Chain A
Amino acid sequence: MLIMKNISKVFQTADIQTHALRDFNLTVNEGDFVSVTGPSGSGKTTFLNIAGLLETYTSGDFTLDGEDIGKLNDNGRSRMRNHKIGFIFQSFNLIPDLNLFDNVDVPLRYRGFDAKERKSRIEENLERVGLASRMKHLPSQLSGGQQQRVAIARALATDPRFLLADEPTGNLDSEMAQGVMSLLEDINKQGTTIVMVTHDAQLAQRSPRTIQVMDGRVSELDLHLASTNQQAIA
């Protein structure tokens, strides 16, 4: 599904070179639910941006769903983002001037679906997140948790091959966070691959696989094994 080999990303300014990722290697298989943890500045967000084709990389190989990303131009990357990837952001990133229906409609417009198809998908996905009755409301009329649900509906509307979630519960209280995580788990059980960046160790534990990014490199963590060992020692 997602294969990164020796990916490096260098941010160059006039005086400074910043190596955000160094020899970054990661394989995510179809149906995986991967949490990405690490301290601030470790390269998690850079990894996510590269994975989501929002950022280019300096060197290495990146294959997404069989396509060599290095060979794609701007139009190709836009097409990949629209067809294959769904994004969920910490700040929800709903367009405030558009109601829920129109917000979920945005990626479908770029996909080129006709009006009937778009309507069907929007209703289906808003129903899926429990907000079908509030289709004509603006984002400002919803709570944080509801806004994040709408963002999830928008991410799912195009039937993406995988979801990228950047701190999806970062701006939510614990109750709402649990609700969103449950929704993501359900989505993963239905077959969607999820890669989630999070600071929250408890949330990371809810995903079957966790990787840690340190100094631009990745290492696998088995938080479930670590947790079991701690209990045994106790």
Chain B
Amino acid sequence: MFTYYLRLAWISIIRHWGLSLVMICAIGLGIGAAMTTITVNYLMSANPIPHKSEQLFFIQLDSWDVNDPFDEGVNPPDQLTYTDSTNLMKANKAFRQNVQAQAYGVIEPEDADLLPISVTARANSADFFAMFDVPFIYGSGWSQQADTSKEQVIVLSKKINDQVFGGENSVGKTIKFDNNIFKIIGVIDHWQPKPRFYDITTGAFNESEDVFVPFSLIAEEKIRRSGNTNCWKPSGDGMAAFLAGECIWTQFWVELRTEQEKQDYMTFLNAYVEEQKQYGRFERPIDNRLSNVMQWLENQEVVADDARMMMAMALMFLTVCLLNTIGLLLAKFLGKAPEIGLRQALGASKATLFSQYIIESACIGFAGGILGLGLSFLGLIGIENLYGEYMQGLATLDITMMTFAIVLALVCTVVAGLYPTWRACNISPAQQLKSQ
């Protein structure tokens, strides 16, 4: 009977093509608006590293001014001082640990035909690559020994390797980066977590870096820092004074495999801060935080309020569209009252009629979903054009979202069709047949 109902639905939709088109457009518009905003929210709030997001933790310590709390006292600072990061690294209390900061520089290719390339860089620890599952196509990251020895080693992105070395295996070669010679030890594959969770402070949806170098080289001034720097008191002149000061500009991640490891690490952090208080630092109350990936994204409000607001408004618009659809379906089905009465006379039960007309609703919903999908594509293109780089890569419909769009359209239209279908099935056949 299902194919029979589909055929009847097709005949009915074609026969009343004007009314059907209005309903399909109503649903399509609602789905288009909803899916545009849902997609953006979905991609913004996606778990970028689902298989280990519960094991990676971002560290926050409140080393800020006792008289002027960071973030009005709601949250401790979102970065650490150089002193605290290096102390935590030396303590080595986690399974894996990574200190990092954003950097930049210029690569000068050996090939004289190639122009110098301005690149973004990340200065990080050896564990960065294993912690965040960075994929390599050639070579690997450096060792902890290289960190300690401040070796001038570098990992290139695929993009830079393609540009400078034509995509060949460049491991073992050297490259001039900011007037220093670095040895290439690895080339990573295209890697773009969304959101770029490991450094929210410089942009949750920015592209990942072009090159990676040891963090220890920052203190040696072999690489230039970029990224956010906040200080609550002057640090004095010179690099040494800056490094020793109370300026926050580094991020610290740890990998803790079990709940016990997490508890132990928190105990360690508390003890560390207590110890630093004895040196006159950390004058504020202890507010040490270990946030896993999703908690950190939530804390940093990666899904912007206006994105949430847009989604809420789009869902309200979808509701309005569905309410219109209820009215239109009601008009359509009650207009079929004579046919419904006749079908009852010929042996259709209420359940049979219900199935027939719900399937017709679903067919309209499916068509509306297809239209909505098309409108979503256009909507996302519009958003990408409107917001520019910020939205790049966030304004795309993957197979999950496309399936969700169709399912949403089907479910919404079937729900909208419940009342009209119920009304239709409770038509008195005697009344309808008499009135013919």
Contact = CB atoms under 8 A, between A and B. Distances in A.
A110 B433 contact: no
A93 B436 contact: yes
B346 A107 contact: yes
B352 interface: yes
Given A45-B434, A49-B430, A90-B436, A78 B349 contact: yes
B433 A107 contact: no
B137 interface: no
Contact of A78 (B338, B344, B428, B436): B344
Given A54-B429, A89-B436, A110 B339 contact: no
B352 A78 contact: yes
A168 B274 CA distance: 100
A95 interface: yes
Interface in B342-370: 342-352
Given A89-B436, A91-B436, A97-B12, A81 B347 contact: yes
Interface in A6-24: none
B11 interface: yes
A98 interface: yes
Contacts of B387: none
Interface string B173-194: 0000000000000000000000
Given A78-B352, A93-B436, A110 B430 contact: no
Report the contact-size class of chain B (Cβ under 8 Å from the partner): 20 to 34
A93 B344 contact: no
Interface string A58-78: 000000000000000011001
A186 interface: no
Contacts of B348: 78, 82, 110
Best-surrounded residue of B344, B346, B352 (most CB of chain A within 10 A): B346
A75 B351 contact: yes
Contacts of B434: 45, 49
Given A45-B434, A49-B430, A93-B436, A109 B1 contact: yes
A111 interface: yes
A75 B436 contact: no
B233 interface: no
Contacts of B436: 89-91, 93
Contacts of A166: 433
A139 interface: no
B371 to A, nearest CB: 24
A47 to B, nearest CB: 11
B347 A54 contact: no
B345 A52 contact: yes
Contacts of B339: 95
A54 to B, nearest CB: 4
Interface in B1-20: 1, 4, 11-12, 15
Nearest to A81: B347
Contacts of A93: 338, 342, 345, 433, 436
A101 interface: no
Contact of B347 (A45, A90, A107): A107
A217 interface: no
Interface string A138-163: 00000000000000001000100000
A54 B430 contact: yes
Contacts of A128: none
Nearest to A109: B4
Which of B12, B342, B433 counts the most A-chain CB atoms under 10 A from its CB?
B433
B430 A106 contact: no
Contacts of A55: 428, 430
A87 interface: yes
Contacts of B352: 78, 110
A52 B338 CA distance: 17
Contacts of A45: 434
A79 interface: yes
Nearest to A157: B346
Given A45-B434, A75-B351, A110-B352, A87 B345 contact: yes
A228 B12 CA distance: 54
Nearest to A82: B347
Given A78-B352, A93-B338, A93-B433, A110 B345 contact: no
A97 B332 CA distance: 14
B349 A74 contact: yes
A106 B346 contact: yes
A83 interface: yes
A95 B347 contact: no
Contacts of B338: 93
A81 B342 contact: no
A78 to B, nearest CB: 4
Given A54-B429, A74-B349, A75-B349, A97 B344 contact: no
Contacts of A87: 345-346, 433
Interface in B200-233: none
Contact of B343 (A49, A79, A106, A158): A106
Given A55-B428, A98-B11, 11 more contacts: A45-B434, A75-B351, A81-B344, A81-B345, A83-B347, A87-B433, A93-B436, A95-B339, A95-B342, A107-B347, A110-B346
Interface of A: 45, 49, 52, 54-55, 74-75, 78-79, 81-83, 87, 89-91, 93, 95, 97-98, 106-107, 109-111, 154, 158, 166
23 contacts: A49-B430, A52-B345, A54-B345, A74-B349, A74-B350, A78-B347, A78-B352, A79-B347, A81-B347, A82-B346, A87-B346, A89-B436, A93-B342, A97-B11, A97-B12, A106-B343, A106-B346, A107-B346, A109-B1, A110-B343, A110-B347, A110-B348, A166-B433
Interface of B: 1, 4, 11-12, 15, 338-339, 342-352, 428-430, 433-434, 436
5 closest residue pairs by CB, A with B: A82-B347, A78-B349, A91-B436, A110-B347, A107-B346
